[in-house]
Amino acid sequence: MTTAADYAAPIALKRGLVSAAQLEAAQQRIAAHTDLTTPAPDLLDLLVADAGLDRAALERAVAEEFGMPWVALGAREIAPDVRAALPRSFIVEHTAIPFAREQGTLLVALASLTLLAGCGPRNHQDLLDWMAEQGKGVAQWLAL
């Protein structure tokens, strides 16, 4: 199974956000995990904790690699009509959060790195197809 880290870690290395030695050390910690009662540590979590990886910088780098704008949703207030622009079931299934409207285009944040894991890229097409069926414009952003 492809994970978000499979995409993000090489980008972090390429962009100089972590060193090859830091990435290797984190991978060795994961390989050394033998306790079957607990999941192995997450590579990106290890890089944040042990190598000082700036997760926001990684998010921006991933967005740039995929040619997407990036947004930090944080405490951003989302207008009720924007929240209602996508059905809740669609939001949950695709981790796609409508957060603003600009010049008639709905801005939709794809949850942080999840679009890269597993069937994630399908989120893009599903969202575009759904919006086209509704006759609405949409712009996708990567979100933190």
In tens, the pLDDT along 85-138 reads: 888 888 887 778 888 988 888 888 877 555 544 434 455 566 667 666 766 666
Residue ranges covered by each domain of the chain: 4-65, 70-143
Domain 70-143 has CATH 3.40.50: no
Cα four-point dihedral sign 99, 102, 113, 49: negative
Q: How far apart are CA 12 and CA 7, in angstroms?
A: 9
At residue 69, the pLDDT reads 86
Token match 């030695």: residue?
21
